[in-house]
Structure 1
Amino acid sequence: MGATLTALHVTAGTAGLLLGPLWLAARVRGAAGRSLAAGYQVAVAAVAVTGGLLAVAEPGLGWLVPVAVLTALLAVGGALARRRDWPRWRTLQPHLLGGSYVALVTGLLVASTGDPVWWAVPALVGQVPIALAKRRLHHRTLLA
């Protein structure tokens, strides 16, 4: 069962890592990207569920369960921020969706290398595209 769960986790993570930039590119081009958004949300949810189950099954990794839950909440919150027109959604959405994507990249790098430096590097590097997304969203508001 562990090998199957791991395979599902890796497959879902790969899908999320591929769908995230595709969704972003669609949005930048002005497309709704609803199917890409839905795919990304499903992939992140699957990563969170399988990651949480794997963490509980492996002694000493239970502390990763809140990380899995937070990753899923970031993705859902980012999707809802714009759709529900939350106050300051143009500031919140890039941080929420970007944070969910940073979590996927962090998981890939930490699992691949085992090096703890990869817990910090994606979060630092991820600030640049998040800032650019915020700037683009705020600029479009000023032009409207």
Structure 2
Amino acid sequence: MGNTPKHSVSVAGIVVRDDGLVLVIRRDDNDHWEAPGGVLELHESFEDGVRREVLEETGLDVTVERLSGVYKNLTHGIVALVYRCRPAEGITHPTAEAREVRWMTRGEVQSAMSPAFAVRVLDAFDESVHSRAHDGVSVVSG
């Protein structure tokens, strides 16, 4: 058991406004467009982690509505719990982790993000919870 590979747990928030636009960030570390999120801290609940990550990366407080999907990055051993959220208060702005913060349509999300990350956004518009695996770029199951 000591040699069993470990996984990292992350959380992400798919923040959807009443007009259907989705909050996304251009990450400072890799220049990729993604939903705001990051590694869950040991003491946090999933929902608290989502609220913290979205606030840290965008300046926006959110209300967590529901789990929309679970995604495994097979290449890096990261399991991401993704939650649909709605904006609560605050004004979005770039941060140390997000060089750009924007509201996008679903079509813009599909064009701007890799398939492995765009699917998280699109899945949040479904009522069912999705379970998928990816290689960091493309969805490979689910």
Indicate the structure whose relative CO is greater, using CA pairs within 8 Å and at least 6 residues apart. Answer: 2
Task: Judge same fold: TM > 0.5, yes or no.
Answer: no
Scaled to the shorter chain, the TM-score interval is under 0.3
Which protein is bigger by CA-based radius of gyration? 1
- Larger helix percent: 1
- Larger strand percent: 2
**TM-score, normalised relative to structure 2:** 0.25
**TM-score, normalised relative to structure 1:** 0.24
